[in-house]
Amino acid sequence: MTALLTFPKGGVHPPAAKELTASLAIEVMPVPDELEIILGQHIGAPCTPTVAAKDEVKEGQVIGEVVKGLGVPLHAPVTGVVKGLGQSAHPMRVSVPSLLLATNHEAAPASYSRRDWRQFGKDELLKMVHRAGIIGIGGAGFPSHVKLNPPPDNPVDTLIINGAECEPYITADHRQMLEASAEIVEGAQIILKILGIENCWIGIENNKPDAIAAMGKAARESSGPGRITVAPLKVKYPQGSEKQLIHALTGRKVPAFALPSAVGVVVHNVGTTKAIHDAVALGKPLYEKVLTVSGRGIARPANLLVKVGTRVSDLVAYLGGVKPELAKVVMGGPMMGFAVSTLEVPVTKTTSSVLFLTEDEIDTTPHSPCIRCGWCLEACPMGLEPKEVAIHVEAGRAQDTAKFGVFECFECGCCAYVCPAKRPLVQFIRLAKMKAKK
């Protein structure tokens, strides 16, 4: 192996903090008494419940459907009784409708048996992925069946499985690559069959040598038409960002505002790939999630397999409570995740981690004026000008910021991470996006 693959411009090296959980096997968390299932788990139209209060539901049964528009169905994570519609706290949208489900602890867990997926055609496989409620669970929440059916004018020739896991703290994908290597590789074979192509890269940051070895072994042992190659990547945030990952592995640049299929690539996260495997090879819908609970503010950090709808407060209770030094609770990674103000927030399909951060791990220094050091320009992987956007927003000229590329910003946070004046640059850019005209 020569120089490790990576993207050429920008990026930062935040402390990985993965040692807290990297060596901990995924544990199955006991199901809490009540689940709170948000109806809008994906990008697109939220689900409409197909069950009413007091209905009995079985694990894996459809409980919500998208009536009109883009989306996937929602499934009952447990056997139990519908308690009714509720409102859930949401880190981004403040309050969203959800279904409350009372768990029947007596019921036997659903069992799924392996089936030969190779007999199915593309359309049948796509339908299985759709019906199983699969969305991009690495964070974006985009319905997977749409990604797997790219427009015919953009022929796809490469599949990339994203195992970079570049956000600090999170080890959920790392553990899945160790513990479910064969399933993920088989999932990749399923996706290759759906796309009708053979070329697949699995990109993994080089700080996970055991995962690179395990996935490489699984790829070599895999029987399937696809050629699956594991590619070690340089450790650099945001290596797992779609555009940066595609560029690192294929040298192709996805144009601004375009999808990866514009350069013949489809990208799926390893967790999504595992979910596609489960949906197709086992017939199991997506209603469980592997997530990392970490940070120095939780009594016992862990990698957990939990039911969708499990509340953060349930995670805290199971892991022995929080420490007094706890300063901030973040859903998602420390670079792009959202701080929550209550522990009564449910886990969704896209929750990859819940972090309990102490004062030492975060920075609460108030921000000061821009000193034009230009570090944000160097850190931005998209070649944008965060400092200019922020200065314009502060001067009340947010509407003039489109020329600095605010709409190409995917809010990775590199600019704000390096800013010595501690300016909340991502927040300034979000404000700019609301005001600027595309």
- Cβ proximity to other proteins: between 213 and 262 the closer is 262
- Cβ proximity to other proteins: between 341 and 399 the closer is 341
Question: Can you give the C-alpha Rg of the chain in angstroms?
Answer: 21
In the complex, least distance from residue 133 CB atom to other proteins, rounded to whole angstroms:
27
In the complex, least distance from residue 8 CB atom to other proteins, rounded to whole angstroms:
10
Q: Are 159 and 191 in contact (CB under 8 A)?
A: yes
In the complex, least distance from residue 181 CB atom to other proteins, rounded to whole angstroms:
30
Strand ranges, E, within 134-198: 158-163
- Cβ proximity to other proteins: between 218 and 384 the closer is 384
In the complex, least distance from residue 192 CB atom to other proteins, rounded to whole angstroms:
26
Residue with tokens 């570090």: 375
Host H or E run for residue 425? helix 425-435
Q: Which long-range contacts (CB under 8 A, 24 or more apart) does 385-391 make?
A: 386/415, 386/416, 386/425, 386/428, 386/429, 387/415, 387/425, 389/425, 389/428, 389/429, 389/432, 390/423, 390/425, 390/428, 390/429
- Cβ proximity to other proteins: between 224 and 264 the closer is 264
In the complex, least distance from residue 386 CB atom to other proteins, rounded to whole angstroms:
10
Distance CA 362, CA 376 (A): 19
- Cβ proximity to other proteins: between 264 and 283 the closer is 264
Q: Are 433 and 406 in contact (CB under 8 A)?
A: yes
Binding site for other proteins (CB under 8 A): 9, 12, 14-15, 168, 243, 247, 253-258, 262, 328, 330, 334-339, 341, 355, 357, 361-366, 368-375, 377, 380-385, 387, 402-403, 405, 408, 411, 413, 416-422, 424, 426-427, 430
- Cβ proximity to other proteins: between 217 and 430 the closer is 430
CA angle 295, 301, 304 (to 5 degrees): 120
In the complex, least distance from residue 414 CB atom to other proteins, rounded to whole angstroms:
8
* Coil, strand or helix at 37: strand
- Cβ proximity to other proteins: between 319 and 331 the closer is 331
Describe the strand order of the beta sheet including 74-75 as a list of residue ranges. Answer: 48-49, 62-65, 74-75
